[in-house]
Structure 1
Amino acid sequence: MQVLIVAWLFGCFIEGASGFGTPAAVAAPLMVALGFPALAAVVMGMMVQSTPVSFGAVGTPILVGVGAGLDQTGIGAQMAALGSNWDTFFHLIFSRVAIIHALCGILMPLIMISIMTRYFGRNKSWTEGLAVAPFAVFTGLCFVIPYAAAGVFLGPEFPSMIGALVGLAIVVPAAKAGFLLPKDSWDFAPASEWPAEWMGRIEMKIEDVAGKTPVSVPMAWAPYLLLAALLVASRVFPQFKALLMSFTFGWKDILGETGVSGTLEPLYLPGGILCMVVILTFFLHRMSARELGAAVSESSRTLLGAGFVLIFTIPMVRILINSGVNGSDLVSMPVAMAQLVANSVGDVYPFFAPAVGALGAFIAGSNTVSNLMLSQFQFNTAGLLGLSGALMVALQSVGAAAGNMIAIHNVVAASATVGLLGREGITLRKTMLPTLYYLILAGSIGLIGFYVMGISDPLVGAAG
């Protein structure tokens, strides 16, 4: 049950709020403190980085990755010609991402437990994991149903956080009541029998990962609930949304180019709302300035690591997208790549679209960066095949999320927290199986969506 509640549901919430490898880095030390072998804790933490990842960091992989990775101007113009707009097309993308993830994510809790019992149990048994199948599937459903609903009806900022919060509210009481739980309990062998490769170099106790100052459960959850409430309010209530969007600053005629301008609404952005919650938490928890400074310093190091990559990736992507503007009348680079793939692979390409996204995440270590690099390529490939670009880009995002389970950057970060550096290869071999499950199922859903259900979008036949 600790895997389902601590690793899966709590990890999904942390992914929704923070992203960028945080769930594994947070959950792994906590599980070690609860008595898990260090290697098992890292593997479980890495497997969480699947279903919630596309909507992690308050929707960054979608808002920044897909949003900046696609030619918004060109797509917006095509949609305008049809009497619609970019926002409508963008909604098609992230709602389909949510639905595909929901279908794939139902079994992820069961797969996590089965891998734990197979590789880290006394009897190395798959069937011991399957014994908890009813409760594991129940846990998966408790997460993915509100997750999908939030993705379809609210927006890309919410699914992972809302799915996890609703899931925790249902699963924890159900576990306490013994609902669907197997009669027999399961545990690891005594630590003295664990192989050396399971053991981390850092010894952890539960007090080492808990806060120094005792905090009540409602007070501990208050910042997260505030974040979810403010995000929902800012997107659902027009008056509150207008108030936040009234604070703007921008730059007109950038670098002297007439008509090239940009604006920013800092309070409406998810990051701005996160900052507001930080300020409220400072007073709510009665923190000292020193404690706040330490928290800002630690989180800034993570922010700089992720931001450093994006600072260079986003300009590179804009160059890729606009490379078609040249004196030689050559097509843009994403179009050229799409032409090659469409001619080489043909109609079965949708099955491989998630794998392309996963490869991007494996190389870049980030769903966001994979989406930035490959969304336009996937969109153009769909156009050349006469298929829905929105669904193809959704498959890209889902695959990139699955690729996070084998992203070396994330494995290293999680391993470092429990003293497992140098054994990343062992972790990758164990997370490869759930990654393949995710990619095969997502690719199959894509083929069914395109060729059986005939899923389309307004731009089919117009993109290219």
Structure 2
Amino acid sequence: MLKVILALLPLVSILFMIFILKKSSIYTGIIACMLTTGIAISPAFHTSVELLPKPFIKSFLTTVPVIYILFFGILLFHLMEKSGAIQKIASAIATSTDDKTYQVLLLALGLSPLIESVSGFGLAVIVIAPILIALKFNAIQSSLIALISLCIIPWGTLAMGTIIGASLGNIPLEDLGVGSALMCIPLYIYFAFLVTYIGVGKKAMKKKQVQILWIGLLLGFSVWICNRFISVELAGLVGSLTVVSTIFIMITLHKRGNQNPSNAFIKNISPYLLLIVLLFVSRTIPPIQGFLSHLLTITIPSYHFQLSFLYSPGFFLFIVCLFTCLLFRLNKTSILDSIKLTINKCYPVLLTTFLYIVVSEMMSEAKMIQLLSLTAANSFGSLFIFITPLIGATGGFLTGSNTASNTMFIRLQTETAVQIGASSTLLACIQNVSSSLMTMVNPSRVALSCSVCKITTLENTIQIKLAMVGLGTLAIIFIEIVIHLLFLQ
């Protein structure tokens, strides 16, 4: 019993420091690393001091690809923001129609996922909320819709959290991506109706319920198709652009006129289009895929590490950043300012990710995770599958990061699945989806939205409303689990 309590202590300490003591994620990570190391070398687990460097080295190597993708993803956002492209894209989408339903769907299920797919960090809130207010939605509506629009997070920052989850959980990336996408289809229908209800009310929502259902299905199925047949990294981009294109077509048919996107709109969105083309070509044409994946590749077999610099999404983001600088003729000052802003945003998340991975690797090295998974299996048996979304949701809510939550919990989920004879992939998908979608309820995300909408005094109100959205999300996930157990096993 004492060993189980000690094995739980690192995870409990993280939750306690974030939720109760309100400590920063970096401070929490440092303390958790020290605590986990102390427990690992204690008489209870007898981990040799000589083995301690291994989790740190492995954690650093796991973080390197994240650095590569995250830095250039955030840099692309800031370069486009400096050029005015983000604002022009938003304006073109927002002013394409006077129909409030289409405006909400364009922004919440189109533009926001587009930005979040490449940049992450919840930056889409900063773009979406002011546009909604400019379109005469009130501040509470704008805040709620902007937060719910972060629904593409399993594929945010080119699926970084999902990639990390697949790596740590020893799950094939395509399996985790496809499974997560299937789980998200009914959730995207839920979010489509929810943002429309918040934005235009029940009566107006009923008038376009078929179109709303279609947009939710379209986002879900296009994300699934991309995960299944093209690339996990591209899924968010493809899904969001499919929604934007489809709504533009619906607006055109409704107006019975020529409402095709202008050349200026195409120019402003061209960096995202180029990124899609580069990633699509690199992942679907075998000779190019083979060439890029073997050239400039670092492999460290003892740590199961491999990084192909020219095949990683980070390389294509780098190319698109260069393209953006040339296309919009950005001056040296704008580029340097963008780099500074990127560094300021990146380093806290990267350091936190590294520290949490250290905790996970140290717990694995000391056999703590194996002990916890065995205990969970003995305590809950097959019912553990219903605990899985609560664990994922807790991680997403407290950390505000799918990457951090998966780092903390996905190995526990997959190893417990083995103990109870369940599908490791299924539990990993439940963890990934519940963790991702509960990040929109994270207090720091809510605070950001309220700040942008200038309703900081109503932060508690928004938090409660988002908590209800989160409960609805979990309810749908529970229904999906029951359906899987009854009909799909």
> TM-score, normalization: structure 2?
0.73
1:56 and 2:156 correspond = yes
Counterpart mapping for 1:64-83 below 5 A:
64=164, 66-70=165-169, 72=170
Output the amino acid matched with 1:46.
Answer: L
Runs of 4+ aligned structure 1 residues displaced above 6 Å come to none
Task: Return 5+ residue gaps in structure 2 as ranges.
Answer: 1-101, 256-261
User: Paired residue for 2:288, among 231, 234, 240?
Assistant: 240
Q: Structure 1 residue 271: deviation in Å?
A: 1.9
**1:9, 1:164 within 8 Å by CA — same for their partners in 2?**
yes
Q: Distance in 1 between matches of 2:405 and 2:304?
A: 27
Output the amino acid matched with 1:55.
Answer: W
SS at match of 1:423: helix
Q: Structure 1 residue 338: deviation in Å?
A: 2.4
Counterpart mapping for 1:191-270 below 5 A:
216-248=264-296, 250=298, 259-260=302-303, 262-270=305-313
Q: Structure 1 residue 58: deviation in Å?
A: 0.3
* Closer, same or farther: CA 435–261 of 1 in aligned 2, 3 Å: closer
User: Paired residue for 2:140, among 27, 39, 42?
Assistant: 39
Equivalent position of 1:104 in the other structure: 187
Q: Distance in 2 between matches of 1:252 and 1:341?
A: 34
* Closer, same or farther: CA 158–249 of 1 in aligned 2, 3 Å: closer
SS at match of 2:330: coil
Equivalent position of 1:95 in the other structure: 178
* Closer, same or farther: CA 423–133 of 1 in aligned 2, 3 Å: same
Q: Structure 1 residue 161: deviation in Å?
A: 0.8
Equivalent position of 1:75 in the other structure: none
**2:399, 2:439 within 8 Å by CA — same for their partners in 1?**
no
**1:342, 1:384 within 8 Å by CA — same for their partners in 2?**
yes
Q: Distance in 2 between matches of 1:350 and 1:155?
A: 28
1:439 and 2:474 correspond = yes
* Closer, same or farther: CA 30–299 of 1 in aligned 2, 3 Å: farther
Equivalent position of 1:146 in the other structure: 222
User: Paired residue for 1:282, among 307, 325, 336?
Assistant: 325
**2:163, 2:173 within 8 Å by CA — same for their partners in 1?**
no
SS at match of 2:456: coil
Q: Percent identity?
A: 21
Q: Distance in 2 between matches of 1:453 and 1:263?
A: 35
Q: Structure 1 residue 341: deviation in Å?
A: 3.0
Counterpart mapping for 1:386-401 below 5 A:
386-401=421-436
Equivalent position of 2:46 in the other structure: none
Q: Structure 1 residue 446: deviation in Å?
A: 1.9
Q: Distance in 1 between matches of 2:481 and 2:213?
A: 23
* Closer, same or farther: CA 447–384 of 1 in aligned 2, 3 Å: farther
Equivalent position of 1:113 in the other structure: 196
> TM-score, normalization: structure 1?
0.77
Output the amino acid matched with 2:134.
Answer: A
* Closer, same or farther: CA 295–405 of 1 in aligned 2, 3 Å: same
Q: Distance in 2 between matches of 1:261 and 1:144?
A: 33
Q: Structure 1 residue 250: deviation in Å?
A: 4.1
Q: Deviations over 1:406-459 (max 9, x none)?
A: 1122222333333333533221211222222221111221232234211xxxxx
* Closer, same or farther: CA 322–311 of 1 in aligned 2, 3 Å: same
Output the amino acid matched with 1:391.
Answer: L
Equivalent position of 2:443 in the other structure: 408
Q: Structure 1 residue 17: deviation in Å?
A: 1.3
SS at match of 1:264: strand
Q: Structure 1 residue 128: deviation in Å?
A: 4.3
Aligned pairs, number:
382
* Closer, same or farther: CA 432–222 of 1 in aligned 2, 3 Å: same
Q: Structure 1 residue 227: deviation in Å?
A: 0.9
Q: Structure 1 residue 108: deviation in Å?
A: 1.3
Q: Structure 1 residue 278: deviation in Å?
A: 0.3
Q: Structure 1 residue 222: deviation in Å?
A: 0.3
SS at match of 1:225: helix
Q: Distance in 2 between matches of 1:45 and 1:91?
A: 29
**1:388, 1:450 within 8 Å by CA — same for their partners in 2?**
no
**2:415, 2:424 within 8 Å by CA — same for their partners in 1?**
yes
Output the amino acid matched with 1:112.
Answer: V
Q: Distance in 1 between matches of 2:235 and 2:319?
A: 21
Higher mean displacement: 261-270 or 244-253: 244-253
Q: Structure 1 residue 69: deviation in Å?
A: 2.7
Output the amino acid matched with 1:100.
Answer: M
Equivalent position of 1:256 in the other structure: none
CA RMSD of aligned residues (A): 2.3
Q: Distance in 1 between matches of 2:206 and 2:432?
A: 29
* Closer, same or farther: CA 5–252 of 1 in aligned 2, 3 Å: closer
1:18 and 2:137 correspond = no
User: Paired residue for 2:212, among 136, 147, 151?
Assistant: 136
